[in-house]
Structure 1
Amino acid sequence: MPTSIDVNLPDGRVLRAHDTGGVAPGGSDGRADAAGGPVLMWHHGSPQTGAPLAPVVAAAAARGIRVISYARPSYGGSSPRPGRDVVSAADDAVAVADAFGVDTFHAMGASGGGPHALAGAARHPDRVLGVATLAGIAPFTDRFDWFAGMRAPGALHAAREGRAARERFAQTDEFDPEQFLPVDFAALDGAWSDLGADVARAAEWGDDGLIDDDVAFARPWGFELADVRVPVLVVQGEGDRVVPRTHASWMLAHLPDATLWMRLDDGHVSVLDVVPDALDWLLAR
Protein backbone atom coordinates (compact mmCIF):
# COMPACT_ATOMS: atom_id res chain seq x y z
CA MET A 1 0.00 0.00 0.00
CA PRO A 2 1.25 3.51 -0.74
CA THR A 3 2.36 5.62 2.19
CA SER A 4 0.95 9.14 2.49
CA ILE A 5 2.47 12.34 3.82
CA ASP A 6 1.52 16.01 3.98
CA VAL A 7 3.98 18.23 2.09
CA ASN A 8 4.20 21.71 3.59
CA LEU A 9 4.78 24.44 1.01
CA PRO A 10 6.42 27.86 1.50
CA ASP A 11 3.10 29.65 0.84
CA GLY A 12 1.47 27.85 3.77
CA ARG A 13 -0.45 25.30 1.73
CA VAL A 14 -0.35 21.56 2.27
CA LEU A 15 -0.34 18.87 -0.42
CA ARG A 16 -1.39 15.31 0.43
CA ALA A 17 1.15 13.10 -1.33
CA HIS A 18 1.52 9.34 -1.86
CA ASP A 19 4.45 7.01 -2.50
CA THR A 20 4.48 3.30 -3.32
CA GLY A 21 7.97 2.85 -1.94
CA GLY A 22 11.62 3.66 -2.42
CA VAL A 23 14.02 5.99 -0.69
CA ALA A 24 12.72 7.69 2.43
CA PRO A 25 11.63 11.35 2.27
CA GLY A 26 14.73 13.51 2.16
CA GLY A 27 16.73 11.02 0.08
CA SER A 28 18.67 11.97 -3.01
CA ASP A 29 18.29 9.44 -5.81
CA GLY A 30 15.41 10.52 -8.06
CA ARG A 31 15.94 8.52 -11.23
CA ALA A 32 15.82 5.29 -9.27
CA ASP A 33 14.28 4.13 -6.03
CA ALA A 34 16.10 2.10 -3.39
CA ALA A 35 15.84 -1.00 -5.60
CA GLY A 36 17.28 0.81 -8.62
CA GLY A 37 14.07 1.33 -10.56
CA PRO A 38 12.64 4.43 -12.23
CA VAL A 39 10.02 6.79 -10.79
CA LEU A 40 6.60 7.76 -12.16
CA MET A 41 4.64 10.83 -11.11
CA TRP A 42 0.92 10.00 -11.51
CA HIS A 43 -1.41 12.98 -12.13
CA HIS A 44 -4.99 12.13 -11.22
CA GLY A 45 -8.17 12.82 -13.15
CA SER A 46 -11.05 15.11 -12.26
CA PRO A 47 -12.43 14.39 -9.68
CA GLN A 48 -10.23 11.94 -7.76
CA THR A 49 -8.31 11.90 -4.47
CA GLY A 50 -4.77 11.84 -5.83
CA ALA A 51 -3.96 8.37 -4.49
CA PRO A 52 -2.42 6.20 -7.23
CA LEU A 53 -4.95 3.73 -8.66
CA ALA A 54 -4.47 0.00 -8.14
CA PRO A 55 -3.99 -0.90 -11.85
CA VAL A 56 -1.34 1.83 -12.18
CA VAL A 57 0.47 0.60 -9.07
CA ALA A 58 0.34 -3.03 -10.27
CA ALA A 59 1.60 -2.23 -13.78
CA ALA A 60 4.38 -0.07 -12.35
CA ALA A 61 5.41 -2.67 -9.78
CA ALA A 62 5.70 -5.30 -12.52
CA ARG A 63 8.25 -3.03 -14.19
CA GLY A 64 10.15 -2.02 -11.05
CA ILE A 65 8.70 1.48 -11.15
CA ARG A 66 8.10 3.49 -8.00
CA VAL A 67 4.94 5.62 -8.17
CA ILE A 68 4.50 8.97 -6.46
CA SER A 69 1.43 11.18 -6.70
CA TYR A 70 -0.42 13.97 -4.93
CA ALA A 71 -3.85 15.55 -4.66
CA ARG A 72 -4.18 18.82 -6.53
CA PRO A 73 -5.44 21.78 -4.48
CA SER A 74 -8.90 21.20 -2.93
CA TYR A 75 -8.73 17.47 -3.66
CA GLY A 76 -8.03 14.62 -1.27
CA GLY A 77 -6.76 16.60 1.72
CA SER A 78 -4.71 19.24 -0.16
CA SER A 79 -5.22 22.93 0.64
CA PRO A 80 -7.13 25.18 -1.78
CA ARG A 81 -5.21 27.41 -4.15
CA PRO A 82 -7.68 30.10 -5.26
CA GLY A 83 -7.31 31.19 -8.88
CA ARG A 84 -4.87 28.40 -9.77
CA ASP A 85 -3.98 27.79 -13.40
CA VAL A 86 -2.70 24.60 -14.98
CA VAL A 87 0.96 25.58 -14.86
CA SER A 88 0.81 26.05 -11.08
CA ALA A 89 0.80 22.26 -10.83
CA ALA A 90 4.37 22.17 -12.11
CA ASP A 91 5.89 23.64 -8.96
CA ASP A 92 3.56 21.60 -6.74
CA ALA A 93 4.68 18.38 -8.44
CA VAL A 94 8.34 19.27 -7.98
CA ALA A 95 7.72 20.07 -4.30
CA VAL A 96 6.23 16.59 -3.89
CA ALA A 97 9.15 14.99 -5.71
CA ASP A 98 11.58 16.89 -3.49
CA ALA A 99 9.73 15.74 -0.37
CA PHE A 100 10.18 12.12 -1.45
CA GLY A 101 13.84 12.62 -2.39
CA VAL A 102 13.12 12.27 -6.11
CA ASP A 103 15.20 14.15 -8.66
CA THR A 104 14.00 13.15 -12.14
CA PHE A 105 10.86 11.23 -13.02
CA HIS A 106 8.45 10.26 -15.75
CA ALA A 107 4.94 11.77 -15.66
CA MET A 108 1.60 10.24 -16.58
CA GLY A 109 -1.78 11.95 -16.40
CA ALA A 110 -5.25 10.64 -17.18
CA SER A 111 -8.13 12.89 -18.27
CA GLY A 112 -7.83 16.03 -16.12
CA GLY A 113 -4.36 14.90 -15.06
CA GLY A 114 -3.00 15.14 -18.60
CA PRO A 115 -2.65 18.95 -18.75
CA HIS A 116 -0.98 18.99 -15.34
CA ALA A 117 1.54 16.34 -16.39
CA LEU A 118 2.39 18.48 -19.42
CA ALA A 119 2.76 21.55 -17.18
CA GLY A 120 5.53 19.91 -15.20
CA ALA A 121 7.45 19.11 -18.37
CA ALA A 122 7.02 22.65 -19.71
CA ARG A 123 8.18 24.34 -16.51
CA HIS A 124 10.74 21.78 -15.31
CA PRO A 125 12.28 19.91 -18.29
CA ASP A 126 15.29 19.16 -16.10
CA ARG A 127 13.08 17.08 -13.80
CA VAL A 128 10.52 15.44 -16.12
CA LEU A 129 11.97 12.82 -18.45
CA GLY A 130 8.85 12.19 -20.54
CA VAL A 131 5.06 12.43 -20.38
CA ALA A 132 2.15 10.15 -21.22
CA THR A 133 -1.26 11.79 -21.34
CA LEU A 134 -4.31 9.51 -21.55
CA ALA A 135 -7.62 11.01 -22.70
CA GLY A 136 -6.24 14.42 -21.80
CA ILE A 137 -7.92 17.67 -22.73
CA ALA A 138 -6.18 20.19 -25.02
CA PRO A 139 -5.70 23.89 -24.21
CA PHE A 140 -8.72 26.02 -25.05
CA THR A 141 -8.47 27.65 -28.47
CA ASP A 142 -10.82 29.10 -31.05
CA ARG A 143 -8.79 27.54 -33.85
CA PHE A 144 -10.91 24.37 -33.66
CA ASP A 145 -14.29 23.65 -32.08
CA TRP A 146 -13.06 22.74 -28.62
CA PHE A 147 -16.51 21.58 -27.47
CA ALA A 148 -17.46 19.54 -30.55
CA GLY A 149 -18.03 15.89 -29.70
CA MET A 150 -18.40 16.43 -25.95
CA ARG A 151 -21.58 14.71 -24.80
CA ALA A 152 -21.97 17.01 -21.77
CA PRO A 153 -20.02 20.26 -22.30
CA GLY A 154 -22.10 22.36 -19.89
CA ALA A 155 -19.51 22.43 -17.12
CA LEU A 156 -16.78 23.69 -19.43
CA HIS A 157 -19.11 26.21 -21.08
CA ALA A 158 -19.80 27.58 -17.59
CA ALA A 159 -16.09 27.53 -16.77
CA ARG A 160 -15.43 29.77 -19.76
CA GLU A 161 -17.59 32.39 -18.02
CA GLY A 162 -15.54 32.21 -14.80
CA ARG A 163 -15.50 30.47 -11.48
CA ALA A 164 -18.78 31.92 -10.21
CA ALA A 165 -20.64 30.60 -13.25
CA ARG A 166 -18.98 27.18 -12.92
CA GLU A 167 -19.90 27.06 -9.23
CA ARG A 168 -23.53 27.83 -10.04
CA PHE A 169 -23.54 25.08 -12.65
CA ALA A 170 -22.30 22.58 -10.05
CA GLN A 171 -25.44 23.13 -7.98
CA THR A 172 -27.64 21.44 -10.60
CA ASP A 173 -25.16 19.34 -12.58
CA GLU A 174 -25.94 15.65 -12.96
CA PHE A 175 -23.82 12.91 -14.48
CA ASP A 176 -24.88 11.95 -18.00
CA PRO A 177 -24.23 8.21 -18.44
CA GLU A 178 -24.22 8.66 -22.22
CA GLN A 179 -20.74 10.18 -21.83
CA PHE A 180 -19.42 6.64 -21.44
CA LEU A 181 -19.38 3.79 -23.91
CA PRO A 182 -20.32 0.22 -22.90
CA VAL A 183 -16.58 -0.58 -22.80
CA ASP A 184 -16.12 2.25 -20.29
CA PHE A 185 -18.74 0.81 -17.94
CA ALA A 186 -17.18 -2.63 -18.39
CA ALA A 187 -13.82 -1.19 -17.36
CA LEU A 188 -15.36 0.43 -14.27
CA ASP A 189 -16.98 -2.89 -13.36
CA GLY A 190 -13.73 -4.76 -13.91
CA ALA A 191 -10.08 -3.77 -14.03
CA TRP A 192 -10.72 -0.10 -13.27
CA SER A 193 -13.20 -0.50 -10.41
CA ASP A 194 -10.69 1.32 -8.20
CA LEU A 195 -11.18 4.40 -10.37
CA GLY A 196 -14.90 4.51 -9.66
CA ALA A 197 -14.29 3.94 -5.97
CA ASP A 198 -11.75 6.75 -5.87
CA VAL A 199 -14.15 9.17 -7.60
CA ALA A 200 -16.69 8.32 -4.91
CA ARG A 201 -14.12 8.97 -2.16
CA ALA A 202 -13.28 12.34 -3.73
CA ALA A 203 -16.80 13.56 -2.93
CA GLU A 204 -15.74 13.87 0.72
CA TRP A 205 -13.87 17.07 -0.22
CA GLY A 206 -16.68 18.65 -2.22
CA ASP A 207 -16.72 20.17 -5.69
CA ASP A 208 -14.04 22.86 -5.36
CA GLY A 209 -11.23 20.81 -6.89
CA LEU A 210 -13.28 19.89 -9.95
CA ILE A 211 -14.57 23.45 -10.35
CA ASP A 212 -11.04 24.86 -10.18
CA ASP A 213 -9.79 22.24 -12.66
CA ASP A 214 -12.48 23.13 -15.19
CA VAL A 215 -11.85 26.87 -14.88
CA ALA A 216 -8.12 26.27 -15.32
CA PHE A 217 -8.70 24.11 -18.42
CA ALA A 218 -10.95 26.71 -20.05
CA ARG A 219 -8.57 29.66 -19.71
CA PRO A 220 -4.87 30.10 -20.64
CA TRP A 221 -2.81 27.38 -19.05
CA GLY A 222 0.25 29.51 -18.35
CA PHE A 223 2.40 27.72 -20.91
CA GLU A 224 2.25 26.74 -24.58
CA LEU A 225 2.37 23.21 -25.91
CA ALA A 226 5.49 24.30 -27.79
CA ASP A 227 7.19 24.73 -24.40
CA VAL A 228 6.99 20.95 -23.76
CA ARG A 229 10.29 19.73 -25.19
CA VAL A 230 10.40 16.24 -23.68
CA PRO A 231 8.91 13.21 -25.49
CA VAL A 232 5.12 13.01 -25.07
CA LEU A 233 2.84 10.05 -25.71
CA VAL A 234 -0.73 11.13 -26.45
CA VAL A 235 -3.23 8.28 -26.00
CA GLN A 236 -6.82 8.78 -27.13
CA GLY A 237 -9.97 6.69 -27.42
CA GLU A 238 -11.63 7.12 -30.80
CA GLY A 239 -15.07 6.94 -29.19
CA ASP A 240 -14.35 9.26 -26.24
CA ARG A 241 -17.41 11.46 -25.55
CA VAL A 242 -15.82 13.34 -22.65
CA VAL A 243 -12.61 14.52 -24.34
CA PRO A 244 -13.07 14.09 -28.11
CA ARG A 245 -10.39 12.85 -30.50
CA THR A 246 -9.88 16.35 -31.94
CA HIS A 247 -8.12 17.32 -28.70
CA ALA A 248 -5.52 14.61 -29.22
CA SER A 249 -5.03 15.61 -32.85
CA TRP A 250 -4.49 19.22 -31.83
CA MET A 251 -1.90 18.27 -29.25
CA LEU A 252 -0.09 16.01 -31.70
CA ALA A 253 0.20 18.91 -34.12
CA HIS A 254 1.49 21.39 -31.54
CA LEU A 255 3.76 19.40 -29.23
CA PRO A 256 7.38 19.41 -30.50
CA ASP A 257 8.05 15.71 -29.81
CA ALA A 258 4.76 13.79 -29.67
CA THR A 259 3.52 10.33 -30.59
CA LEU A 260 -0.20 9.56 -30.91
CA TRP A 261 -1.80 6.23 -30.11
CA MET A 262 -5.43 6.34 -31.28
CA ARG A 263 -7.38 3.49 -29.69
CA LEU A 264 -10.19 2.73 -32.13
CA ASP A 265 -12.49 0.78 -29.79
CA ASP A 266 -11.97 2.78 -26.60
CA GLY A 267 -13.79 5.52 -24.73
CA HIS A 268 -12.77 7.77 -21.87
CA VAL A 269 -12.20 5.04 -19.27
CA SER A 270 -11.39 1.90 -21.24
CA VAL A 271 -8.45 3.73 -22.84
CA LEU A 272 -6.68 3.38 -19.50
CA ASP A 273 -6.01 -0.26 -20.32
CA VAL A 274 -3.03 1.09 -22.25
CA VAL A 275 -1.22 2.04 -19.01
CA PRO A 276 1.22 -0.93 -19.07
CA ASP A 277 2.19 -0.22 -22.69
CA ALA A 278 2.47 3.50 -21.96
CA LEU A 279 4.84 2.74 -19.09
CA ASP A 280 6.98 0.67 -21.45
CA TRP A 281 6.99 3.59 -23.90
CA LEU A 282 8.18 5.97 -21.20
CA LEU A 283 10.90 3.61 -20.03
CA ALA A 284 12.21 3.33 -23.59
CA ARG A 285 12.70 7.06 -23.98
Structure 2
Amino acid sequence: MPVGQRASAAKGTVCIDVRTDDGRTLVAEEWGAPDGTPVLLHHGTPGSRLGTALHDVTERHPQVRLFAYDRPGYGDSDRREGRRVADAARDAAAVADALGIGTFAVVGRSGGAPHALACAALLPERVTAAAALVSPAPRDADGLSWFAGMTPMNVDQYTLATTDPAALERLLTALADEIRPDPVRLLDQLRGALSKADEPVLADERVRAVLLANYREGLRVSAYGWFDDTVALATPWGFDPAVIERRVLLWHGAEDVFSPVGHFHWLAGRIPRCTAVLQPGAGHFTAQYALGRALEWLREG
Protein backbone atom coordinates (compact mmCIF):
# COMPACT_ATOMS: atom_id res chain seq x y z
CA MET A 1 0.00 0.00 0.00
CA PRO A 2 1.17 3.58 -0.55
CA VAL A 3 2.51 5.29 2.56
CA GLY A 4 3.47 8.68 1.18
CA GLN A 5 4.35 10.70 -1.90
CA ARG A 6 7.86 11.95 -2.61
CA ALA A 7 9.18 14.80 -4.68
CA SER A 8 9.60 13.50 -8.22
CA ALA A 9 12.92 13.55 -10.01
CA ALA A 10 11.40 14.73 -13.29
CA LYS A 11 8.42 16.66 -14.56
CA GLY A 12 5.34 14.50 -15.08
CA THR A 13 6.36 11.73 -12.70
CA VAL A 14 4.79 10.62 -9.44
CA CYS A 15 7.06 9.10 -6.81
CA ILE A 16 5.69 7.22 -3.79
CA ASP A 17 6.79 5.04 -0.91
CA VAL A 18 5.14 1.59 -0.97
CA ARG A 19 4.79 -0.58 2.13
CA THR A 20 5.08 -4.32 1.46
CA ASP A 21 3.14 -6.92 3.43
CA ASP A 22 6.27 -7.80 5.41
CA GLY A 23 6.77 -4.18 6.49
CA ARG A 24 9.48 -3.03 4.07
CA THR A 25 9.40 0.23 2.10
CA LEU A 26 9.98 0.34 -1.65
CA VAL A 27 10.42 3.59 -3.57
CA ALA A 28 8.33 3.56 -6.76
CA GLU A 29 7.67 6.00 -9.57
CA GLU A 30 5.18 6.26 -12.44
CA TRP A 31 5.03 8.47 -15.52
CA GLY A 32 3.44 8.61 -18.93
CA ALA A 33 -0.27 8.36 -19.82
CA PRO A 34 -2.44 7.73 -16.72
CA ASP A 35 -4.93 5.79 -18.85
CA GLY A 36 -2.27 4.11 -21.02
CA THR A 37 -1.11 0.51 -21.16
CA PRO A 38 0.66 -0.20 -17.84
CA VAL A 39 4.24 -1.45 -18.18
CA LEU A 40 6.55 -2.18 -15.26
CA LEU A 41 10.24 -1.52 -15.97
CA HIS A 42 12.90 -3.44 -14.01
CA HIS A 43 16.24 -1.63 -13.77
CA GLY A 44 19.68 -3.13 -14.32
CA THR A 45 22.48 -4.04 -11.89
CA PRO A 46 23.50 -1.79 -10.22
CA GLY A 47 20.67 0.63 -10.77
CA SER A 48 17.49 2.36 -9.76
CA ARG A 49 14.10 3.36 -11.12
CA LEU A 50 15.81 6.40 -12.70
CA GLY A 51 17.76 4.22 -15.12
CA THR A 52 14.98 2.26 -16.78
CA ALA A 53 14.34 4.44 -19.85
CA LEU A 54 15.72 7.31 -21.90
CA HIS A 55 14.04 10.61 -21.13
CA ASP A 56 12.10 10.85 -24.40
CA VAL A 57 10.33 7.51 -24.03
CA THR A 58 6.92 8.99 -23.21
CA GLU A 59 7.11 11.36 -26.16
CA ARG A 60 7.81 8.45 -28.48
CA HIS A 61 5.24 6.17 -26.82
CA PRO A 62 2.42 8.42 -25.57
CA GLN A 63 -0.04 5.56 -25.01
CA VAL A 64 1.99 3.83 -22.31
CA ARG A 65 1.81 4.19 -18.52
CA LEU A 66 5.25 3.34 -17.16
CA PHE A 67 6.13 2.49 -13.59
CA ALA A 68 9.27 1.26 -11.84
CA TYR A 69 10.69 0.78 -8.37
CA ASP A 70 14.08 0.53 -6.71
CA ARG A 71 14.75 -3.09 -5.85
CA PRO A 72 15.48 -3.79 -2.16
CA GLY A 73 18.76 -2.29 -1.02
CA TYR A 74 18.92 0.34 -3.76
CA GLY A 75 18.33 4.01 -2.93
CA ASP A 76 15.83 4.31 -0.09
CA SER A 77 14.20 0.91 -0.69
CA ASP A 78 14.69 -1.24 2.38
CA ARG A 79 17.06 -4.14 2.00
CA ARG A 80 15.75 -7.72 1.92
CA GLU A 81 18.78 -9.79 2.88
CA GLY A 82 19.00 -13.14 1.10
CA ARG A 83 16.40 -12.27 -1.52
CA ARG A 84 16.06 -14.40 -4.64
CA VAL A 85 15.14 -13.30 -8.15
CA ALA A 86 11.71 -14.88 -7.60
CA ASP A 87 11.00 -12.43 -4.77
CA ALA A 88 10.62 -9.64 -7.32
CA ALA A 89 7.15 -10.94 -8.18
CA ARG A 90 5.86 -10.22 -4.70
CA ASP A 91 7.37 -6.73 -4.66
CA ALA A 92 6.11 -5.94 -8.15
CA ALA A 93 2.58 -6.92 -7.13
CA ALA A 94 2.80 -4.64 -4.08
CA VAL A 95 3.90 -1.70 -6.22
CA ALA A 96 1.15 -2.31 -8.80
CA ASP A 97 -1.44 -2.54 -6.01
CA ALA A 98 -0.26 0.74 -4.51
CA LEU A 99 -0.66 2.45 -7.88
CA GLY A 100 -4.09 0.93 -8.50
CA ILE A 101 -2.87 -1.18 -11.40
CA GLY A 102 -4.41 -4.59 -12.01
CA THR A 103 -2.80 -6.25 -15.01
CA PHE A 104 0.43 -5.05 -16.58
CA ALA A 105 3.29 -5.97 -18.90
CA VAL A 106 6.89 -6.18 -17.70
CA VAL A 107 10.22 -5.22 -19.25
CA GLY A 108 13.62 -5.85 -17.70
CA ARG A 109 17.08 -4.91 -18.92
CA SER A 110 20.31 -6.69 -17.97
CA GLY A 111 20.13 -7.66 -14.27
CA GLY A 112 16.49 -6.56 -14.28
CA ALA A 113 15.53 -8.99 -17.05
CA PRO A 114 15.44 -12.12 -14.85
CA HIS A 115 13.28 -10.16 -12.40
CA ALA A 116 10.85 -9.39 -15.23
CA LEU A 117 10.80 -13.09 -16.14
CA ALA A 118 10.06 -13.89 -12.50
CA CYS A 119 6.97 -11.69 -12.65
CA ALA A 120 5.81 -13.42 -15.84
CA ALA A 121 6.35 -16.86 -14.30
CA LEU A 122 4.88 -16.23 -10.87
CA LEU A 123 2.11 -13.67 -11.58
CA PRO A 124 0.37 -15.29 -14.59
CA GLU A 125 -2.98 -13.78 -13.61
CA ARG A 126 -1.58 -10.24 -13.69
CA VAL A 127 1.30 -10.12 -16.18
CA THR A 128 0.06 -9.89 -19.77
CA ALA A 129 3.44 -10.21 -21.53
CA ALA A 130 7.14 -9.75 -20.83
CA ALA A 131 10.27 -8.49 -22.54
CA ALA A 132 13.75 -9.45 -21.36
CA LEU A 133 16.55 -7.33 -22.83
CA VAL A 134 20.14 -8.69 -22.69
CA SER A 135 19.17 -11.14 -19.96
CA PRO A 136 21.54 -13.54 -18.26
CA ALA A 137 20.36 -17.13 -17.93
CA PRO A 138 20.04 -18.94 -14.59
CA ARG A 139 23.38 -19.88 -13.06
CA ASP A 140 22.25 -23.54 -12.85
CA ALA A 141 21.10 -23.66 -16.52
CA ASP A 142 21.54 -27.22 -17.79
CA GLY A 143 24.06 -27.55 -20.60
CA LEU A 144 25.15 -23.90 -20.56
CA SER A 145 28.78 -22.89 -20.08
CA TRP A 146 27.72 -19.90 -18.00
CA PHE A 147 30.99 -17.94 -18.01
CA ALA A 148 31.89 -18.57 -21.67
CA GLY A 149 32.37 -15.23 -23.45
CA MET A 150 31.78 -13.18 -20.28
CA THR A 151 33.91 -10.15 -19.42
CA PRO A 152 36.41 -10.88 -16.60
CA MET A 153 34.87 -8.22 -14.35
CA ASN A 154 31.55 -10.09 -14.26
CA VAL A 155 33.27 -13.46 -13.97
CA ASP A 156 35.11 -12.27 -10.87
CA GLN A 157 32.04 -10.82 -9.17
CA TYR A 158 29.73 -13.75 -9.91
CA THR A 159 32.41 -16.21 -8.79
CA LEU A 160 32.79 -14.42 -5.46
CA ALA A 161 28.99 -14.45 -5.06
CA THR A 162 29.07 -18.22 -4.66
CA THR A 163 32.57 -18.85 -3.28
CA ASP A 164 33.19 -15.91 -0.94
CA PRO A 165 30.19 -13.59 -0.46
CA ALA A 166 31.97 -11.66 2.30
CA ALA A 167 34.76 -10.76 -0.13
CA LEU A 168 32.18 -9.71 -2.72
CA GLU A 169 30.48 -7.48 -0.16
CA ARG A 170 33.80 -5.80 0.65
CA LEU A 171 34.60 -5.35 -3.04
CA LEU A 172 31.25 -3.82 -3.99
CA THR A 173 31.16 -1.63 -0.88
CA ALA A 174 34.55 -0.19 -1.81
CA LEU A 175 33.48 0.32 -5.42
CA ALA A 176 30.25 2.01 -4.36
CA ASP A 177 32.18 4.34 -2.04
CA GLU A 178 34.31 5.40 -5.02
CA ILE A 179 31.38 5.74 -7.42
CA ARG A 180 28.92 7.50 -5.10
CA PRO A 181 30.50 11.00 -5.26
CA ASP A 182 31.24 10.68 -8.98
CA PRO A 183 29.23 8.07 -10.95
CA VAL A 184 31.36 8.76 -14.02
CA ARG A 185 33.91 6.48 -12.37
CA LEU A 186 31.67 3.47 -12.99
CA LEU A 187 31.39 4.36 -16.66
CA ASP A 188 35.18 4.67 -16.77
CA GLN A 189 35.56 1.23 -15.16
CA LEU A 190 33.08 -0.29 -17.60
CA ARG A 191 34.93 1.13 -20.59
CA GLY A 192 37.71 -1.44 -20.25
CA ALA A 193 35.18 -4.29 -20.29
CA LEU A 194 33.06 -3.11 -23.21
CA SER A 195 32.71 -4.65 -26.62
CA LYS A 196 33.41 -2.26 -29.51
CA ALA A 197 29.67 -2.17 -30.19
CA ASP A 198 28.99 -0.55 -26.82
CA GLU A 199 31.50 2.30 -27.08
CA PRO A 200 29.31 4.66 -29.16
CA VAL A 201 26.33 3.92 -26.92
CA LEU A 202 28.12 5.10 -23.79
CA ALA A 203 29.31 8.15 -25.73
CA ASP A 204 25.66 9.14 -26.37
CA GLU A 205 24.87 12.02 -23.98
CA ARG A 206 21.25 10.85 -23.60
CA VAL A 207 22.41 7.44 -22.42
CA ARG A 208 25.12 8.86 -20.17
CA ALA A 209 22.65 11.21 -18.45
CA VAL A 210 20.31 8.34 -17.64
CA LEU A 211 23.09 6.00 -16.47
CA LEU A 212 24.67 8.62 -14.23
CA ALA A 213 21.33 9.38 -12.53
CA ASN A 214 20.71 5.65 -12.31
CA TYR A 215 23.99 4.84 -10.53
CA ARG A 216 23.88 7.92 -8.33
CA GLU A 217 20.47 7.04 -6.91
CA GLY A 218 20.99 3.28 -6.77
CA LEU A 219 24.22 3.53 -4.75
CA ARG A 220 23.34 6.68 -2.80
CA VAL A 221 22.76 4.85 0.51
CA SER A 222 24.73 1.61 0.27
CA ALA A 223 26.03 -1.17 -1.97
CA TYR A 224 23.57 -3.74 -0.65
CA GLY A 225 21.24 -3.65 -3.64
CA TRP A 226 24.22 -4.35 -5.92
CA PHE A 227 25.50 -7.12 -3.64
CA ASP A 228 22.10 -8.79 -3.22
CA ASP A 229 21.40 -8.60 -6.95
CA THR A 230 24.73 -10.23 -7.77
CA VAL A 231 24.17 -13.08 -5.32
CA ALA A 232 20.59 -13.58 -6.50
CA LEU A 233 21.64 -13.75 -10.16
CA ALA A 234 24.48 -16.18 -9.39
CA THR A 235 22.37 -18.60 -7.33
CA PRO A 236 19.10 -20.48 -8.10
CA TRP A 237 16.42 -18.01 -9.14
CA GLY A 238 13.50 -19.75 -7.45
CA PHE A 239 11.53 -20.42 -10.64
CA ASP A 240 11.95 -22.10 -14.02
CA PRO A 241 11.57 -19.88 -17.11
CA ALA A 242 9.94 -22.86 -18.83
CA VAL A 243 6.75 -22.33 -16.79
CA ILE A 244 6.07 -18.88 -18.27
CA GLU A 245 2.71 -19.00 -20.04
CA ARG A 246 2.63 -15.47 -21.46
CA ARG A 247 4.36 -14.13 -24.56
CA VAL A 248 8.00 -13.22 -24.02
CA LEU A 249 10.27 -11.08 -26.18
CA LEU A 250 13.96 -11.84 -25.83
CA TRP A 251 16.21 -9.14 -27.26
CA HIS A 252 19.98 -9.55 -27.25
CA GLY A 253 23.05 -7.98 -28.79
CA ALA A 254 25.25 -10.44 -30.66
CA GLU A 255 28.39 -8.71 -29.26
CA ASP A 256 27.28 -8.77 -25.61
CA VAL A 257 30.09 -9.67 -23.19
CA PHE A 258 28.18 -8.96 -19.96
CA SER A 259 25.37 -11.44 -20.70
CA PRO A 260 27.02 -13.61 -23.37
CA VAL A 261 25.00 -14.77 -26.35
CA GLY A 262 24.92 -18.35 -25.06
CA HIS A 263 22.58 -17.14 -22.32
CA PHE A 264 20.20 -15.80 -24.97
CA HIS A 265 20.16 -19.08 -26.88
CA TRP A 266 19.51 -21.05 -23.68
CA LEU A 267 16.56 -18.86 -22.69
CA ALA A 268 15.17 -18.89 -26.24
CA GLY A 269 15.16 -22.68 -26.16
CA ARG A 270 13.56 -22.82 -22.72
CA ILE A 271 10.71 -20.28 -22.79
CA PRO A 272 7.66 -21.70 -24.63
CA ARG A 273 6.05 -18.60 -26.20
CA CYS A 274 9.25 -16.79 -27.06
CA THR A 275 10.02 -14.26 -29.79
CA ALA A 276 13.82 -14.24 -29.94
CA VAL A 277 15.68 -11.31 -31.54
CA LEU A 278 19.47 -11.42 -31.82
CA GLN A 279 20.71 -8.06 -33.06
CA PRO A 280 23.93 -8.18 -35.14
CA GLY A 281 26.57 -5.61 -34.26
CA ALA A 282 24.92 -4.73 -30.94
CA GLY A 283 26.36 -4.99 -27.45
CA HIS A 284 25.00 -5.04 -23.92
CA PHE A 285 24.30 -1.32 -23.57
CA THR A 286 22.59 -1.14 -26.97
CA ALA A 287 19.57 -2.39 -25.02
CA GLN A 288 19.11 1.25 -23.97
CA TYR A 289 17.73 1.79 -27.48
CA ALA A 290 15.71 -1.46 -27.57
CA LEU A 291 13.07 -0.42 -25.04
CA GLY A 292 11.03 1.33 -27.75
CA ARG A 293 10.93 -1.84 -29.82
CA ALA A 294 9.89 -3.80 -26.75
CA LEU A 295 7.06 -1.38 -25.93
CA GLU A 296 5.77 -1.61 -29.50
CA TRP A 297 5.92 -5.42 -29.36
CA LEU A 298 4.02 -5.48 -26.07
CA ARG A 299 1.27 -3.21 -27.40
CA GLU A 300 0.97 -5.14 -30.67
CA GLY A 301 0.00 -8.19 -28.68
TM-score (norm 1): 0.89
Q: Which has the higher helix share?
A: 2
Distance 1:271 1:74, change over 3 A: same
Distance 1:99 1:52, change over 3 A: farther
Q: Can you list the C-alpha shifts for 1:198-220, whole angstroms capped at 9, x where unaligned? A: 22332212211111011111111
Give 1:10 shift.
2.0
What SS does structure 2 have at the residue aligned with 1:205?
Answer: coil
CA distance in 1, matches of 2:71, 2:209: 19
What SS does structure 1 have at the residue aligned with 2:131?
Answer: strand
Deviates more, 1:153-162 or 1:41-50: 153-162
8 Å contact kept, 2:85–2:232: yes
Distance 1:176 1:112, change over 3 A: same
Given candidates 251, 257, 263, the residue that maps to 1:241 is 257
Q: Kindly indicate whether residue 22 of structure 2 is the aligned counterpart of residue 7 of structure 1.
A: no
Deviates more, 1:169-178 or 1:112-121: 169-178
1:91 counterpart residue number: 90
8 Å contact kept, 1:19–1:67: yes
Given candidates 179, 191, 206, the residue that maps to 1:177 is 191
8 Å contact kept, 2:172–2:226: no
8 Å contact kept, 1:228–1:255: yes
What is the Cα-based RMSD across aligned positions, in Å? Answer: 1.9
Please, which runs of 5 or more residues in structure 1 have no aligned partner?
23-32
CA distance in 1, matches of 2:287, 2:139: 22
Give 1:170 shift.
2.7
Size of the aligned set, in residue pairs, is 273
Identical columns (%): 35
What SS does structure 1 have at the residue aligned with 2:149?
Answer: coil
Q: Kindly indicate whether residue 154 of structure 2 is the aligned counterpart of residue 138 of structure 1.
A: no
Moved >4 Å (runs of 4+): 171-174
CA distance in 1, matches of 2:160, 2:59: 37
Q: Can you list the C-alpha shifts for 1:185-231, whole angstroms capped at 9, x where unaligned? A: 32223231233212233221221111101111111111001121111
CA distance in 1, matches of 2:101, 2:173: 40
Q: Pairwise mapping of residues 182-201 of structure 1 onto structure 2 (< 5 A)? A: 182-190=196-204, 191-197=206-212, 198-201=214-217
2:77 counterpart residue number: 78
What SS does structure 2 have at the residue aligned with 1:179?
Answer: coil
Given candidates 148, 156, 159, the residue that maps to 1:157 is 159
CA distance in 2, matches of 1:59, 1:185: 26
Q: Can you list the C-alpha shifts for 1:110-140, whole angstroms capped at 9, x where unaligned? A: 0000000011111101111111111111111
What SS does structure 1 have at the residue aligned with 2:85?
Answer: coil
CA distance in 2, matches of 1:101, 1:144: 40
Distance 1:162 1:283, change over 3 A: farther
TM-score (norm 2): 0.85
Partner amino acid for 1:167?
A: E
Given candidates 254, 259, 271, the residue that maps to 2:270 is 254
CA distance in 1, matches of 2:30, 2:169: 32
Partner amino acid for 2:107?
A: M
Distance 1:54 1:243, change over 3 A: closer
1:264 counterpart residue number: 280
